[in-house]
Structure 1
Amino acid sequence: MRRVLLCLTALSVAVSPFAVAAQQSSSASAARITYPPTARENVVETQFGVAVADPYRWLENDVRQDPRVRDWVTAQNAVTNRFLAQLPHRDAFRARMRELYDYERFSVPQKAGSRYFYTRNDGLQNQSVLYVRDGLNGQQRLLIDPNTWSQDGATALAEWEPSKDGHYVAYGVQEGGTDWRVIRVLDAATGRVLDDEVRWAKFTGIEWAKDNSGFFYSRFPEPTAAQQFQSTNENHAIYFHRIGTPQAEDRLVFAQPDRPRLSNNGEVTDDGRWLIVYSNEGTDARYEITLIDLTQPNAQLRRIVAAAENDWTYLGNQGTRFYWQTNKDAPRQRIVAMDVANLGALTEIVAEDAATLQGASIVGDRLILRYLADAKSEVRTFDLTGRRLGTIALPGIGQVSGFSGDMSDSETFYSFASFNSPGAIYRYDSRTGQSSVFAQPEIAFDPARYEVRQVFFNSKDGTRVPMFLVHRRDLDTSRPQPTLLYGYGGFNAPELPRYQPKWMTWVDMGGVLAVANIRGGGEYGQAWHDAGRLANKQNVFDDFISAGEHLIREGVTTNRQLAVEGRSNGGLLVGAVVNQRPDLFAAALPTVGVMDMLRFDRFTAGRYWVDDYGYPNREADFRTLYAYSPYHNIRPNVSYPPILVTTADTDDRVVPGHSFKYVAALQHANPNGNPHLIRIETRAGHGSGKPTDKQIEEYSDMYAFIAHFTGMAVPAATTRRAGERG
């Protein structure tokens, strides 16, 4: 298990018809927008000698609790919907996107006992369905179909985990996109759902005891109804739920009430003897590690890693000899062994490499290590002494995931995907080194029609940064084309090749996709992350701006054809670069973004993000944050490009108030400029669990918007051509 890891005046603005201008297509139709009235309150706070205005603070209130915010949301959506309805290519994007979403997709199977569990979506199902096979070649049998749980498809199957013997499955229910979970249990043989119900689980795994009597999980105290989607998350604790008992009888296993800001997650070792507790305060993978001997009643807690300074991932153990992936003394990660009975020096098994070690597992008696080499996956195998055995051949430039398993079984599964292919699921035998196809999706296009390549550019300070480019092979690359530049740049998260139907729709319509591997991510290990966070955060924005300048300089696109997209931390990225270089972009899509950098830590999970952003109440951090905060750096009468902000009413990860305040400030700053609109989804959250039909509707709106303002000439024949299905 990988740890799981915001006096009154009214403004009513009439926007004059926006003509075809430097940033707009010659085919853009005239329109007139009247923004809804947005009250500006006289809220000013002095922080470290700086008077900080926050006129839209009232928009932070929960839309479910405040009628004023609810009315504002309704009015903004009405304006946005009227505008989107007149976009000329909206229906074409929706039609093609539905085709590209309509492919069979599987999760990587998980083996428990003699059973194999996996999810499958037949194409356009709103939620993927959990299936089981009795034996590898057994008949597929449906276990859980979340599509029957709600009429709008917004109730999702979240985390799920079979018991060690495959008899039970514990699974999380996610309602309307929230991070809260309700955990239920079913009998895998009969499909019968038991009476067990666990509430207020959040940021949790599900870890079964070796005897299959119950499972460990993490939860927060029950919030009040008014604070359910906004209060800061504190006092995370690990409990054990015994099957057949009420949650009130769940046993508290681990908590640290004197340190309420810690997150605590447990993992049961492969032999079932130990519970490993990972404790950390932020988003950084820096853990204190506590060991609990599950064979001893009331066993004493043993702190085996006392300082939260490094990343530690358990891989397996032979008695008290534990194998770990860690960045201790190895910024790009290595494999070590530790004797937990006699803590001393670590034994290095596989040394740090020039490539970044992304993930590792022990399957049978083999180490399987997944590396990133210039943001592309490669897989190497070793024996348990660290002797290099070979590599696992991959189909090309892409991303590999999976390889879960343990030391008692040589069988594992993995997936491989790229920008132009969702890829296949493979079965791998670590004894023989052989891979075979477990599931191969049928897709509505020929991957060979699309080119995927990697380029490098220099950022403002000379740092060499990689970027992927994707386009149709028959696209006329001798002249600039509408281009979508995507980025994230934070939290040590690498931006890897992956198949996204929305991206393939953009490419299929004749656009270029550019995905930049900017600093702040994990493409090149800890140093790459450190170079893009805290006081170094401006490097992230410089990298992204330099990516856009490179695309223009190389003739891929122009500033009249370049759109930018990012979500969450990437939404912050888009907001910041548009403020800093409004001349560079033709349109922008900031999605569920962190836009108020002075108050992000006051809501839900925002307090965790201080590892990347810093503390707003510390002067040095405040000055850094205030300098780039998207909400606070919008200037009056600046010609910002057309912007479509997207968020959701049940986003309790990045609360929607961030986006509400940001778009209100944009609309006020330049009321006669380009359209600055917000699309607010209902019964949806930060992204996970969103129904397929809502994804198609949202992305069709977003991409029709940027197509309009980048001058994309959408092909007349937008549906699948005969014989194209691969």
Structure 2
Amino acid sequence: MNYPETRRDDVVDTQFGEKVADPYRWLEADVRQDAKVADWVDRESRFTQAYLETLPQRAWFKQRISTLMDFERYGLPVKAGKRYFYTRNSGLQNQSQLFVRDGLNGKPRLLIDPNAWAKDGATALDAWEPSQQGRYVLYSVQDGGSDWRILHVMDATSGKVLDDELRWVKFSGLAWIGEEGFLYSRFPAPKEGAAFQSLNYNQAIYYHRLGTPQSADELVYATPKHQDYGHTAEVTQDGRLAVITTHVGTDSRYDVRVIDLSRRGKDGWAARPIVTGFKDDWRLVEGAGQKLWFVTNENAPRYRLVSIDLGASAPSFTEIVPQRDDILEKAGIVGRQLVLNYMRDAASHAEIVGLDGKQGRALALNGIGTASGFRGKPGDPETFYSFTSFNRPASIFRMNLDTGVSEPFAEPAMDFDPAEIAVEQRFYTSKDGTRVPMFLVRRKDVANAGKAVPTLLYGYGGFDISLTPGFSASRMAWVQAGGAFAMANLRGGGEYGRAWHDAGRRANKQNVFDDFIAAGEYLKKEGVATQDGLAIQGGSNGGLLVGAVLNQRPDLFAAGVPQVGVMDMLRFDRFTAGRYWVDDYGYPDREADFRVLRAYSPYHNIKAGTNYPAILVTTADTDDRVVPGHSFKYAAALQAAPLGDKPHLIRIETRAGHGSGKPTDKVIEESADVLSFVSQWTGLAVPK
């Protein structure tokens, strides 16, 4: 293909005695600031779009994905005082709206409609939190997919937006103290023109009192001697305690401090340490008075539930629910009981026990899927939860824990029968003998026929993140077209606790790639995927996964889609949040880590002279999580190398960021492009 011309510079670094070429470093510059990068993006985008528009499958996928997304969707309700707050999307709205009901059966009232904020629909309502009695709603606005947020406050009775506006907020919790103010986390304002690429340091927690300017906010907690520390705040439901959680990188290793808000007038923001040393994961469950409950993996790699009474003469943690074979993901206190969310082989199940951890009963869920929610308050038995699977969009249920009665709050109406879609879980063996789980989704008639079909394999494998069943309109469109969808639960994730994560990071990162390659080999060997019809897809750390595996086994795959990926493993720590990722990847400026990173970095290991699969790289010009320079450089290197006759293209979205907040119309367009590209090179024939 006659790709657009890309300038190649003579840039070479010497690291630990090795010369490392980086001819496309100039593409790291911010497209907003650099006219030459903007011109390259424009030429590549027009070239790719011209190709994608020729694909005969695109119209079918766009129509089918649109239809599959056109259903009423609800978010989990949050109860505050006598009010119920929840999001709703009528179907194809670019952004979900926020509604409130005065009482469970009250008339829904629209509070916030982000669809009116921007003509392109790319300004989103991000997080939101009602004040404790429901008088106000604190919410964050995300523009163009950026990680930066702007905070606003609305009067939930009148619908009036207050004058309060807070900026330079990122990776923050939203924690009300009564009805007068709240805690939030922010960074110092970046230098002019550096907001979307500069490293994030010196995050601090502030208290904002309603009706005052941001300049008057009180500093609550900061660590100026440790500019790399990050901090978030939570407040217990009774408003008695603020819990400050401090992290260093992406590892779930935290310090925890507590502020007694009842003594704020006397002690100020005095933060009392209760966990130090950055050794283990600590997830606040709830607090009542001076007592706190946590889910932790301290001395329990699969997690346990503990409590601590800060009013005791010598406070110490007491075990309430010991570690089990399954992973305890989270817990909540609702009424006078604990709701425990467990994960077994990457699928959810829930259990309800007393506050002493005894007298448990299981909560029945509808098959292999993911349950979430169970937010509530001590003393109030009402809670809401959702359940979703590959063949079932999220349904919302309201449950009374005292009676055990559960009833639907919102169930989507779909134009297909979930029973026609087969969802199964299989296990396969990786290169070193490790048993790895994988979900497999097909139409039942396809599964029953036992015939190999074009298959799309998805993976992530990193940062202690678990891939669990969930509904996706694009994946369902692929399956309805007759393809198979597989999702492998690779090492590096959190599916089996700390050991599973450790086995797939730093010096062990190759295990993740081996697991993914073994998944592809299994799908072909078992007659699920056709021999020339296997494609792979992954985003962010999963984009790195796809890029690395395409270099290592280009013969195994027909197509690859690395999305918003980390592709230059020698410079990832130099931009925005990249410095956090050293926990999973290691430090490029340390020789031992450099050797590992250099060996698999997608950008540095493209095998010229080898026939590569068809590749569609996707990114966004406004991504400030994994800056688009990663994908720009990788795509330029692919196009410059002799890699056979299949296309190696880059799709660059505008005002879409890393993924969150992306408007529905952009989701549909991108999904149609990706699936039509994949189907073209795997041989999937869409229905006529």
TM-score category (smaller protein): over 0.9
SS at match of 1:678: strand
Q: Which amino acid aligns with 1:650?
A: T
Conservation of the 8 A alpha-carbon contact between 1:304 and 1:343? no
Residue of structure 1 in register with 2:283 after alignment:
313
Conservation of the 8 A alpha-carbon contact between 2:611 and 2:644? no
1:467 correspondence with 2:451: no
C-alpha distance in 1, partners of 2:299/2:256? 17
Residue of structure 2 in register with 1:337 after alignment:
307
Q: 1:373 aligns with which of 328, 344, 357?
A: 344
Question: Structure 1 vs Structure 2: percent identity of aligned residues?
Answer: 59
C-alpha distance in 1, partners of 2:434/2:643? 38
C-alpha distance in 1, partners of 2:685/2:665? 25
Residue 474 of structure 1, CA deviation = 1.7
1:362 correspondence with 2:340: no
Conservation of the 8 A alpha-carbon contact between 1:103 and 1:444? no
C-alpha distance in 2, partners of 1:318/1:688? 34
Residue 345 of structure 1, CA deviation = 4.0
1:443 correspondence with 2:414: yes
SS at match of 1:405: strand
Residue 448 of structure 1, CA deviation = 1.2
Q: Which amino acid aligns with 1:468?
A: F
Residue of structure 2 in register with 1:196 after alignment:
164
Conservation of the 8 A alpha-carbon contact between 2:237 and 2:288? no
Residue 295 of structure 1, CA deviation = 2.1
SS at match of 1:200: strand
Conservation of the 8 A alpha-carbon contact between 2:610 and 2:644? no
Note the 1:257-656 alignment, pairs <5 A.
Answer: 257-296=224-263, 297=265, 298-341=268-311, 342-475=313-446, 477-656=449-628
Residue 338 of structure 1, CA deviation = 1.4
Q: Which amino acid aligns with 1:279?
A: T
Deviations 1:501-556 (A, max 9, x none): 01001101110000101111111111111111111110000000000000000011
Deviations 1:386-428 (A, max 9, x none): 1032011101110000001121311110000000110310011
SS at match of 1:576: helix
Residue 688 of structure 1, CA deviation = 0.4
1:703 correspondence with 2:671: no
Residue 457 of structure 1, CA deviation = 0.2
Residue of structure 2 in register with 1:661 after alignment:
633
SS at match of 1:35: coil
Q: 1:110 aligns with which of 78, 91, 115?
A: 78
SS at match of 1:474: helix
Q: 1:151 aligns with which of 96, 116, 119?
A: 119
Residue 344 of structure 1, CA deviation = 4.6
Conservation of the 8 A alpha-carbon contact between 2:200 and 2:577? yes
C-alpha distance in 2, partners of 1:299/1:694? 44
Residue of structure 2 in register with 1:84 after alignment:
52
Conservation of the 8 A alpha-carbon contact between 1:220 and 1:234? yes
C-alpha distance in 2, partners of 1:318/1:690? 38
C-alpha distance in 2, partners of 1:231/1:423? 37
Conservation of the 8 A alpha-carbon contact between 2:431 and 2:515? yes
Residue 672 of structure 1, CA deviation = 5.1
Residue of structure 1 in register with 2:22 after alignment:
54
Matched residue count: 683
Residue 180 of structure 1, CA deviation = 0.5
C-alpha distance in 2, partners of 1:223/1:423? 39
Residue of structure 2 in register with 1:216 after alignment:
183
Which deviates more, 50-59 or 293-302?
293-302
Q: Which amino acid aligns with 2:367?
A: G
C-alpha distance in 2, partners of 1:166/1:663? 49
Conservation of the 8 A alpha-carbon contact between 2:164 and 2:211? yes
Residue of structure 1 in register with 2:93 after alignment:
125
C-alpha distance in 1, partners of 2:168/2:187? 6
Q: Which amino acid aligns with 2:468?
A: L
Residue 572 of structure 1, CA deviation = 0.4
1:167 correspondence with 2:135: yes
Q: 1:233 aligns with which of 186, 191, 200?
A: 200
Conservation of the 8 A alpha-carbon contact between 2:248 and 2:580? yes
C-alpha distance in 2, partners of 1:578/1:95? 30
C-alpha distance in 2, partners of 1:471/1:287? 41
Q: 1:692 aligns with which of 664, 667, 670?
A: 664
Residue 659 of structure 1, CA deviation = 0.2
Structure 1 unpaired stretches of 5+: 1-14, 16-33, 717-726
Deviations 1:264-298 (A, max 9, x none): 10111222121111011111111111111222232
C-alpha distance in 1, partners of 2:556/2:109? 53
SS at match of 2:61: helix
Conservation of the 8 A alpha-carbon contact between 2:240 and 2:288? no
Residue of structure 2 in register with 1:187 after alignment:
155
SS at match of 2:509: helix
Residue 318 of structure 1, CA deviation = 3.4
C-alpha distance in 1, partners of 2:643/2:49? 19
1:137 correspondence with 2:109: no
List structure 1 runs of 4+ shifted beyond 3 angstroms. 341-345
- Give the alignment's TM-score, normalised by structure 1: 0.93
Conservation of the 8 A alpha-carbon contact between 2:463 and 2:493? yes
Deviations 1:30-83 (A, max 9, x none): xxxx21111111111111111111111110000000001000000000110111
Superposed CA RMSD = 1.0
Deviations 1:183-205 (A, max 9, x none): 11111111111111111111011
Q: Which amino acid aligns with 1:404?
A: R
Conservation of the 8 A alpha-carbon contact between 1:102 and 1:444? no
SS at match of 1:38: coil
The alpha-carbon distance between structure 1 residues 247 and 514, as it changes in their structure 2 partners (threshold 3 A), is: same
Note the 1:664-679 alignment, pairs <5 A.
Answer: 664-670=636-642, 673-679=645-651
Q: Which amino acid aligns with 1:526?
A: R
Q: Which amino acid aligns with 1:427?
A: R
SS at match of 1:558: strand
C-alpha distance in 1, partners of 2:578/2:398? 39
Q: Which amino acid aligns with 2:44?
A: Q
Deviations 1:17-40 (A, max 9, x none): xxxxxxxxxxxxxxxxx2111111
Note the 1:28-43 alignment, pairs <5 A.
Answer: 34-43=2-11
Deviations 1:300-358 (A, max 9, x none): 32111111111111112333222111000000000011122445542110000001111
C-alpha distance in 2, partners of 1:75/1:62? 16
